[in-house]
Amino acid sequence: MSNAQNIVILGGSFAGLSVAHYFLKHILPTLPKNNGASYHVYLIDSSTHYYWRIAAPRALVGKDMIQQDKMFLPIADGFKQYDSSIFTFIQATATSMDTNARTVTIEHASNSESQTLPYHALVIATGTRTPSPLLSLQGDYKITQNALQEMRGKLSSAKTIVIAGGGPAGVETAGEIGEALNGVAGFFQSRPANPKAKITLLSGSTKLLPMLRPALAKQAEVYLNRVGVDVVHNAKMQSVDSAGAQTLIHLDNGSTLEADIYIPATGVTPNSAFVPANLKTDKGYVKTNGKTLRVDEAGPRVYAAGDVGSYTRGGVMDIYDAIPVVLTNIKRDLQHAATAGASSPSPNNNNNNNNEKQSELAGNAPGSDRTYKANLKETQLVPVGRSKGVGAVFGWKLPTLMVYMIKGRNYMIDNAVTLQRGTKWEKEDGWKPTDA
């Protein structure tokens, strides 16, 4: 029987891919191999492909607008560089976890069969979902691919479009659809001359883009008008129902809008249905120690990374800041566990003796942890159509040309492969306890 200790990572997107590559490249080689101990990484995702959802607003208006083979990348291909004795990708959905038995149960996509996987260390990186499958994965990537395809077909004949949500996803989506259907206003014009469709964006608030200062939000609204998008403030979608081919959008101010296409971009819900209730906040995020990124109440060596964790307000920059922290603490905890003789419960033996249980519960490494500090400065880039955009980085406002060059040109699609293959994490972000 193999005595490999399972390192289980749930979710294979921005956070989960980063954790897996960083662990395999920099942490695993440093772990003590006492008495022949070894480690095996299991990366679990409901989808075979990871989705560069950042580019969704442009991809939904035209297949050739963003290279599809760069938007959906096969997870397994990025891990061919590692030996199969240390890494396995499984297309499956986590359905429950048991912090006493230290197991997660997964349902395989291929045959719907359940498997219970013991973990020595567990990273929860299952992210969030949007109401629309256009903007995030909702199972296998083909669901999203089909939704994008269907949307492109519908847009070609749509005359009325309503988008709910004044955050970046709503603004970017409205901008892309506006420019694709209505074109751009000419010089000294504020609106396109011959708009093809009436496009309405419900901000759901008094302004667009809550993370940006009012002047930038106002500028985004001007750019939206230039591609024929009307912004409606102070009205939220309350419910929707269909009337034949039309969607009726009932607003909280009592009025109703009718649309050929309705796109909800009204925020996200954490993918945490499998996580026990005591480990979740009232909004469903995994309760994470905001400094160490451990899930303290789940027992030793359980961590959260990415948008599913309560420690973050979300976003890829936050993930990139968190990865070296969570991986340093995993490394320290695993080295400590190895020294203390901890091992994961054997899948073939439910009556582990007390010594094994005790050492499994060896706990966190003593000494200083590496700590995470959220960057709360105004940072967000929001393209509005194909050549304009608003944004700020660390509190510094960026000109529209910079927003275009950094993000609006192609929604940073070339970075997708660096996560898939782990080249983003080629170097370890070094840290010594004295840095604490």
Ligand X SMILES: Cc1cc2nc3c(=O)[nH]c(=O)nc-3n(C[C@H](O)[C@H](O)[C@H](O)COP(=O)(O)OP(=O)(O)OC[C@H]3O[C@@H](n4cnc5c(N)ncnc54)[C@H](O)[C@@H]3O)c2cc1C
Q: Which residues bind ligand X (CB under 6 A)?
A: 10-16, 44-47, 50, 53-54, 56-57, 93-94, 125-128, 130, 135-137, 169, 271, 274, 306-308, 314-317, 319
CA distance 65 to 122: 38
Closest contact distance (angstroms) between CB of 166 and ligand X is: 13
State the nearest-atom distance from the C-beta of 409 to ligand X, in Å: 13
101 Cβ contact list (under 8 Å, min separation 6): 118, 345
Other Cβ atoms closer than 10 A to 388: 23
Using CB atoms, what's the residue nearest to ligand X?
A: 127
CA distance 95 to 105: 6
Q: How far is the CB of 51 from ligand X (least distance, A)?
A: 7
State in angstroms the smallest separation of the CB of 380 from ligand X. Answer: 7
Give residues with Cβ within 8 angstroms of 61, minimum separation 6.
Answer: 152, 155, 176, 177, 180
Least CB distance from residue 94 to ligand X, whole Å?
A: 4
Given the complex with ligand X, which of 329 and 343 has the nearer CB atom? Answer: 329
Pick the closer one to ligand X by CB: 45 or 221: 45
Query: Toward ligand X, which CB reaches closer, 343 or 380?
Result: 380
CB nearer to ligand X: give 169 or 295. 169
Nearer to ligand X, 298 or 362 (CB): 298
Q: For strands 256-259 and 246-251, give the pairing.
A: antiparallel
Q: What is the DSSP string of 157-221?
A: T-SEEEEE--SHHHHHHHHHHHHHHH----TT-SS-SS-SSEEEEE-SSSSS-TTS-HHHHHHHH
CB 372 → ligand X: shortest distance, Å?
14
Distance of CA 300 to the CA centre of its chain: 25
Closer residue to ligand X in complex, CB, 328/420: 420
**Nearer CB in complex with ligand X: 37/393:** 393
**How far is 121 from 19, CA to CA, in rounded Å?**
12
CB of 296 to ligand X, least distance (A): 20
Q: Which of 102, 125, 97 is nearest to 14 (CA)?
A: 125
What is the DSSP code string of 36-72?
A: G-EEEEEEEESSSEEE-GGGHHHHTT-TTTS-HHHHE
